[in-house]
A and B are shown apart, each in its own frame.
Chain A
């Protein structure tokens, strides 16, 4: 596709449930990033994938958060046993390669609401 796509666009869940958020990066982009944006805040880095290298998970806030990237393309961010403080917009971005160009192109995000 022309840009980064994410699904679902909105997700409402109950506390304690697991959720999966999906990201389709721009075709040909080898680097993929997940960020979180809480209300009125800037973007908080969560995790990034570069090609076949081990992902940088340094931004994941707890072990309830995990992400995988299958086949070097689509990525899924999973949050287990969701808590109310997980409510935020989860943004995915991709770039040609991590560091070769810092220009990251963002998807529209998934707004997660944990009741």
Chain B
């Protein structure tokens, strides 16, 4: 069974702290790993990773994928209260040589940043 596991499930920090969120996966025919931020309802896209060892950055957020060890991390430096959200990790797969649209999501990490 395809599985995506995130850790920790919840995290409480203070503004200015740096956090690392983890995502490990066991899926067949891996194609890509995505990170989303969910504040109220709609998850918003952060990163898509397909290759090992290539860091993607956007401001204070960065992410990297390790396809050998089957995990990814999402780093947030100098956290702000606006970073408080649920961070979702999802994996896309290939099926039978053709593209397959479904994403398998982890359960999410709830990040709370206190002032």
Contacts and interface: CB of A to CB of B under 8 A. Distances in A.
B48 A98 contact: no
Contact of B32 (A50, A91, A102, A108): A102
Contact of B101 (A44, A56, A107, A111): A56
Interface stretch (B14-22, B54-62, B105-113): B105-113
A52 interface: no
A98 B32 CA distance: 12
A109 B34 CA distance: 19
Contact of A43 (B6, B40, B90, B98): B90
Interface string A12-36: 0000000000000000000101010
Interface of A: 3-4, 31, 33, 35, 40-45, 48, 50, 56, 58-59, 89, 91, 95, 97-109, 111
Given A4-B42, A41-B108, A99-B92, 10 more contacts: A33-B103, A42-B6, A43-B90, A45-B105, A56-B102, A58-B102, A98-B100, A102-B31, A106-B44, A108-B42
Interface of B: 4, 6, 31-32, 34, 36, 40-45, 48, 88, 90, 92, 94, 98-108
